[in-house]
Amino acid sequence: MNSLVLYLLQVAICHTVFYLLYRTLYSNLAYFNFSRIYLLSATVISFIIPLLSIGVWQPSDHALGSSLFLLALISQGGVTPVRSETTDLAVSPYGLVDLLFPALLTIYLIGCLFVSYKLLGSLWKIHMLIKNNEIVREEDYRIVRLKNGPAFFSFMTCIFINEKKNLLKQDEYNTVLLHEQAHIRQKHSYDLLLMEIAGVVCWFNPFLKKLKTSLCQVHEYLADKAVMNTKQDPDAYSKLIIRLSHHYEAERFVHPFSVADLKSRINMLYIQKQSKMKAVRFVAIIPLLAMLMMVFSFTERSEQGQQQTNVSEQKLIVAAINWEGNRVFTDEYLADILAIKPGDIYDKKQVERNLSFNPKRQDIAGLYMDLGYVYFSIEPEEVVAENKVVLNMKIHEGDVAYINDITIKGNSSITTAEVLKMIEFKKGDKFSRSKLLQSQENLKKSKLFKADKVDLNIQPLEDQSKINIEFTVEEK
């Protein structure tokens, strides 16, 4: 569910960026076919870019379960566990956020249903107009003679004409027909249906609606251009557009004769050929695409990750677990903490949790860090053969670190001495991850500070036998 929210957000960002580029560089150009292709492609590509996964190869030089990396996450609030007084389970500080996602999903689905209802309602109204009114069949289109409604509009292969509002001279009537025939011939209704479907998925994004509005405007430019190619007088045609502009009452995805931005539309009638140098602006699409793909499509891969690509796609059996570099604990004891043995089905995520941080039970990183091994790290290596995997655990224990200094920042009315009384350790004590986290929890439960503003900052020193701890608080 979280991934769906993230995907929709990325799609919305792509739509927004594409629209801003169009508005800045292309909206005033008379390259109408290009604008149509751009707007349609931008709408579709925005849904595709976040789904792409383009590997960027990086050397595998990090150690999974590094204690300093874990502590950095803790200090930023990323994985801080909260211990209950009555249970040993951990409650994530992001529990409120997790509860928020179902509410957001519910609102999103309601919006999708509402927009779908309006879309289907509009289609049904057009169907009833065709069913309940006289139809005159021509060679390439049909004329639907309306008893009420807007004066002129088209949809798919139908041109709708309200005879009561048709107060045009014959030559003006023929001009309007030419305009609507251009919409039908160039299949503009299919474009708008695509935009409506995209609007169902991304109804919350105003910039997608702007993309649709821009596309409707381009459709009018193209139809006007088709009329001008028949040697029509642009002055007379402009006056006709203005005169019919007050008759717009059509549905959301049809083509009324006069609805687009009148000033821009009339200005485009008088543009002849534009300088070819303006076509250079089209090159801007390339870096824009590259930027969006770098942000949303590139994923870091390592040599180890390449070997593990197929690991998650099949069930592997653990053949053996080898430990290297451990001096403090025996292989058997570490294997018990890892909670996986030869013959078990390999659960990669569970192994990672039991190596680095598992809020529900003892993990190996916590085992070492509670004894002061703050620089502890472990790097697992997978060797896969057929349906079996051998796990080689390379451990770096490092030296035991002692608390060199404890600093408190952000307190004003509450003295540092009072705060230090709530800390589970003091200067000179051996570092302990569990005591560090418990100290953070004590400060949160004291009701003296804002619970979401109690942060940790772990400060390694050049002398690796010492480490500084900084608590940052904000008083209520």
- Same domain, yes or no: 246 and 106: yes
Looking at 341, 363, 396, the residue that finishes a domain is: 396
The mean pLDDT of 141-165, rounded to a whole number, is 80
75 shares its domain with 199? no
What confidence score (pLDDT) does residue 77 get? 41
Pairing of strands 142-146, 158-162: parallel
Using the 3D structure, point to which of 351, 370, 396 is the last residue of a domain: 396
Counted domains in the chain: 3
Is residue 18 one of the residues assigned to a domain? no
| Structural domain that includes position 408 | 402-472
Average pLDDT, the chain: 80
Give the bridge partners for 144, in sequence order: 135, 160
- Domain-embedded: residue 47: no
Structure-block tokens of residue 11: 């799609």
Which residues are CB-neighbours of 214 under 8 A, at least 6 positions away?
19, 22, 23, 27, 35, 39
- Predicted local confidence at residue 67, as pLDDT: 47
Q: Which of 173-177, 340-344, 423-427 has the lowest mean pLDDT?
A: 173-177
Q: How far apart are CA 170 and CA 456, in angstroms?
A: 81
Is there a domain that residue 327 lies in?
yes
Give a yes or no: residue 290 inside a domain. no
Same domain, 151 and 130: yes
In this model, does residue 411 exceed pLDDT 80?
A: yes
Domain end residue (candidates: 343, 373, 396): 396
Does the pTM surpass 0.75? The reply is no
CATH of the domain at 437: 3.10.20.310
Same domain, 314 and 197: no
Same-domain status, 427 and 333:
no
The answer, yes or no, to whether residue 76 has pLDDT greater than 80, is no
251 shares a domain with 131: yes
Per cent of the chain over pLDDT 90 is 33
Residue 25 located in a structural domain: no
* Pairing outcome for strands 152-155 and 255-256: antiparallel
What is the mean pLDDT of the segment spanning 20-45? 90
Examine residue 1 and state whether it is found in any structural domain, yes or no: no
Q: Are residues 87 and 110 in the same domain?
A: no
Q: By the 8 A CB rule, do 406 and 423 touch?
A: yes
pLDDT at 51 over 70: yes
- Would you say 102 and 1 are in contact if contact means Cβ atoms under 8 Å apart? yes
Note whether 78 and 103 are same-domain residues.
no
| Domain assignment present for 6 | no
Specify whether 253 is located in the same domain as 210: yes
Tokens 């109408």 identify what position?
32
User: Does one domain contain both 136 and 172?
Assistant: yes
Q: Is 116 in the same domain as 140?
A: yes
Q: Is the same domain home to 434 and 316?
A: no
Tell me what pLDDT residue 264 has. 74
CB 17 within 8 A of CB 296: no
User: 68 falls in which pLDDT band (50, 70, 90)?
Assistant: very low
